[in-house]
Chains A and B, each alone.
Chain A
Amino acid sequence: MRGGDVAAAEAGSPRSPDLYDLSDDSDYAAAAAASDRTVMRTDPADRGSEETARVDVVYEKERVTIHPSQYGSGRISGKLRLFLQQGSLFLSWEPNEGADSLSTSSVGVEIEKYRNLYTIKALPLSDVRFIRRYTPTFGLDYIIIVLSSGLAFPPFYFYNSGIRELFATLKQHVFIIRSDDDPNVFLVNDFQDPLQKSLSSLELPGVASVANAMSRQNSLSFTGSNDESRHGATSSMSQYSSKQKHKSNDPGRDLSIQVLEKFSLVTKFARDTTSSLFRDNSGAHAYGRQQHEYILDNKATDKHKNQYITPEKASTPSATIESDPLPLVWGKQRDHPLSVKEWAAFLDPEGRVMDSKALRKKVFYGGVDHALRKEVWKFLLGYHEYDSTYAEREYLAAMKRAEYEAVKSQWKSISATQAKRFTKFRERKGLIDKDVVRTDRSIPYYEGDDNQNVVVLRDILLTYSFYNFNLGYCQGMSDFLAPILYVMEDESESFWCFASLMERLGANFNRDQNGMHAQLLALSKLVELLDPPLHNYFRQNDCLNYFFCFRWVLIQFKREFSFDQIMLLWEVLWTHYLSEHFHLYLCVAILKKYRQRIIGEQMDFDTLLKFINELSGQINLDRAIQDAEALCTIAGENGASCIPPGTPPSMPIETDGGLYVQEDEVL
């Protein structure tokens, strides 16, 4: 923080104290004093970096931070400013340059991509509809800026405080009043409504005419490629500017209804719920939710799938976007699978994967050519390190083969007489024997009597149940193993890949089902965030246990798609590219797709369960992945916060040298 020059700039301000007075909030009296430290006025001469005409910076705050990803550590710290230019007030937010001390190295690259995306170069305040202030009991204060278009920027977290000063400063320059309905909502430019106006006589001398904002000074900087800008939840800011007439004194309701009517895809139910959100002071993400509705329901029209949305009219100057029309948040068009040639380019001469992040991204968007799966899956599953060399991997394979044989010999050496006295072994073996002959037998690789591959399945599962005796064997494991063995065509390598997968998903098979319950709970939170009407419906119909998604989650959609599709989906999930819990977003995406039928047909738990079961084979995989991608992007940090740490497939919180651990002690 540059306290010194700021204080100097404002110390001699001629403004009277009442300019700071948002008299209905005592906070702001205190803020007035504090603002001395943060409000500054700078002449161009003082700031060589400002190349344009006269720019007066009236507010500046460091460490105003965006949390763009699901990684708690992934933050972009930046500088929020208000400045006057040619008589209009603008807001800017620029990320700090260079490595962000707040991001850990593992997510640094990811974060870097968002950096430019979220930059706001000069947002005219005339484009702002309102700003909502959030002051959670625990955690940082933040604001959400909602544009006239109905869209919102991601939350700005204030690490050095400064929200009060922000509002105090805003108040000096634009017409800003507190919403009648929600004291944390500050309406900007609300000239339309006499009632609102009467609530506050805050029209101030010297207020900049926000209407003067020049279109050429607009607006957001979306410097990323199309590929990247799809992440910009805020990017379609101009859709509604021309229609933005405020007839109601509830901006939230007004906006939501506009948005909903616009696409007329949301039921009355949804509308009621959405507008009720705007009166929920404690609903920390209310505006975020509205935004989700907007984007997703628009998306549901399909018409614009994967297309750019062109602003209908550019009748309002400030709505004109200089460059290309900006995309809404869609899932990206699916890419072709990683090819042999592309794969080779990822490897250095010794065989190290040079840019694992880029590899995971590529796989996330397109999957892997089948011929490469044998190699690539080992990385995705965590069996191979990305920075290992060919030689190291070869050595590892040999070592691991010996280790596998050693574990396998543990049960191989159990004699018939010993087995008689070893009930647990007999039961386990019996169960596995029964299940491997009921696993993917329609796939040629496993079909027919006396199929040797079925025997290998059995051997691996039984060996695993000794390797991880506490977890043992549970139904569903064979569903995971069958495609892995099919791809690896090698017993030991399949075993280790499977064991790696179980490091993350073993909790799905815990006897107490805690891993499943954690995921289903997280799923319910995600639906609550991303589709409140559907959540309400489930709540009212006693469906909140989400058991109807049990099979989806337990074996990661294995029974919902064909064998070929499941290999693709799994490699997409295993990249953990947008989220470790992408499968949960996939659940939300599919539920959302069918929400109209679910609600419209008033499905009860039984009917819903049957309905979901019968979706097997009916789901368009590419579409579902795209939808989930959009949801995951929109949900961002809010989505991540729905998912408690340690929820599979996150690594268990308590690990012992990376080995799966359960409490009870056997053997």
Chain B
Amino acid sequence: MSYAYLFKYIIIGDTGVGKSCLLLQFTDKRFQPVHDLTIGVEFGARMITIDNKPIKLQIWDTAGQESFRSITRSYYRGAAGALLVYDITRRETFNHLASWLEDARQHANANMTVMLIGNKCDLSHRRAVSYEEGEQFAKEHGLVFMEASAKTAQNVEEAFIKTAGTIYKKIQDGIFDVSNESNGIKVGYVVPNSSGGGAGSSSQAGGCCS
């Protein structure tokens, strides 16, 4: 399928926080409690539309266990966006955020957009991390924040699309050089004047997203 841009996303966070479920909810709009644990990395993709432009999200869903960090790091390269996920019912997954973030900062593109997601908000009766704590952490580290539920689909769509919107805006603002694919952005075939540069894609300006 043709697209104006392709964004590479990476989903990171502790094991069992629901990374694969978030991906499946976003790509297939379903929740599958029984699925194989992720070894290495799995891939998902979906088309979205921003500013009337078809954008393909290619999403890398990584293994969360500590032992695999050295492998996971190699996946950051060229990611335009990251979803950093924790489980609001398990405090330790929140406590580990800083170390994930450090990995991301070290191995990913400096311009990578990071979205912090407190998953499993449908289980708020077992909540171990407050919304405010998540919000605070995001603020401190300059991340976009949302609580979501892969099970109920609450905020899942929003999380992925909001991230894409942020990336798109960075392109518009000329922060990304889209001719350099190491930014995790590929220019597709649809846009008439996609000759490289700062994505001026004029004709249908307007409709923002976010």
Residues of chain A at the chain B interface (Cβ within 8 Å): 427, 431, 434-435, 437-442, 474-476, 478-479, 509-511, 513, 516, 545, 547, 550-551, 554-555, 559, 605-606, 609-610, 613-614
CB–CB B37/A439 < 8 A: yes
Residues of B within 8 A of A474 (CB): 65, 67
The answer to the question of B189 belonging to the interface, with a C-beta cut-off of 8 Å to chain A, is no
Residues of A within 8 A of B15 (CB): 431, 434-435, 475
Within 8 A of A (CB), among B39-91: 39-43, 63, 65-68, 70-71, 74-75, 77-78
Question: Quick one: given A431-B15, A474-B65, are A438 and B34 in contact (CB under 8 Å)?
Answer: yes
CB–CB B77/A475 < 8 A: no
Residues of B within 8 A of A551 (CB): 39-40
A484 to B65, CA, bound (A): 23
How near does chain A come to B120, taking the closest CB pair, in angstroms? Answer: 13
Question: Quick one: given A511-B67, A606-B8, are A475 and B74 in contact (CB under 8 Å)?
Answer: no
Residues of A within 8 A of B188 (CB): none
CB–CB B40/A554 < 8 A: yes
CB–CB B34/A559 < 8 A: no
Residues of A within 8 A of B75 (CB): 609
CB–CB B68/A606 < 8 A: no
A441 to B36, CA, bound (A): 8
A545 to B78, CA, bound (A): 17
Residues of A within 8 A of B74 (CB): 545, 547, 605
A475 to B71, CA, bound (A): 13
A478 to B36, CA, bound (A): 10
Residues of A within 8 A of B67 (CB): 474-475, 509-511, 513
User: When A and B form their complex, which 7 residue pairs have the shortest distance between CB atoms, in order from nearest?
Assistant: A438-B37, A551-B40, A434-B16, A441-B34, A475-B65, A550-B40, A551-B39
CB–CB A554/B77 < 8 A: no
A545 to B37, CA, bound (A): 23
A434 to B120, CA, bound (A): 15
Residues of A within 8 A of B66 (CB): 511
A614 to B36, CA, bound (A): 15
A99 to B106, CA, bound (A): 60
CB–CB B77/A605 < 8 A: yes
Residues of B within 8 A of A434 (CB): 15-16, 37
Residues of B within 8 A of A559 (CB): 36, 39
CB–CB B41/A554 < 8 A: no
A513 in complex: contacting residue of B36, B63, B71, B92, CB < 8 Å = B71
A547 to B78, CA, bound (A): 16
A550 to B15, CA, bound (A): 18
A609 to B63, CA, bound (A): 14
A489 to B70, CA, bound (A): 36
Residues of B within 8 A of A613 (CB): 40-43
The answer to the question of B35 belonging to the interface, with a C-beta cut-off of 8 Å to chain A, is yes
User: From B14, which residue of chain A is reached at the shortest CB distance?
Assistant: A431
How near does chain A come to B90, taking the closest CB pair, in angstroms? Answer: 8
CB–CB B37/A478 < 8 A: yes
Residues of B within 8 A of A511 (CB): 66-67
A-B residue pairs in contact (CB < 8 Å), sample of 23: A427-B92, A431-B15, A431-B16, A431-B65, A434-B15, A438-B34, A438-B35, A438-B37, A439-B37, A440-B36, A441-B34, A475-B37, A479-B39, A513-B68, A513-B70, A513-B71, A516-B71, A547-B40, A547-B74, A551-B39, A555-B39, A605-B77, A609-B75
Question: Quick one: given A474-B67, A613-B41, are A438 and B36 in contact (CB under 8 Å)?
Answer: yes
Question: Quick one: given A431-B16, A605-B77, are A476 and B39 in contact (CB under 8 Å)?
Answer: yes
Residues of B within 8 A of A554 (CB): 39-40
User: From B75, which residue of chain A is reached at the shortest CB distance?
Assistant: A609
User: From A550, which residue of chain B is reached at the shortest CB distance?
Assistant: B40
Residues of B within 8 A of A441 (CB): 34-36
User: From B37, which residue of chain A is reached at the shortest CB distance?
Assistant: A438
Residues of B within 8 A of A516 (CB): 71
How near does chain A come to B160, taking the closest CB pair, in angstroms? Answer: 19
A555 to B41, CA, bound (A): 14
How near does chain A come to B92, taking the closest CB pair, in angstroms? Answer: 8
How near does chain A come to B140, taking the closest CB pair, in angstroms? Answer: 26
CB–CB A475/B63 < 8 A: yes
A547 to B67, CA, bound (A): 14
CB–CB B78/A606 < 8 A: yes
CB–CB B71/A547 < 8 A: yes
A555 to B36, CA, bound (A): 13
A437 in complex: contacting residue of B34, B41, B70, CB < 8 Å = B34
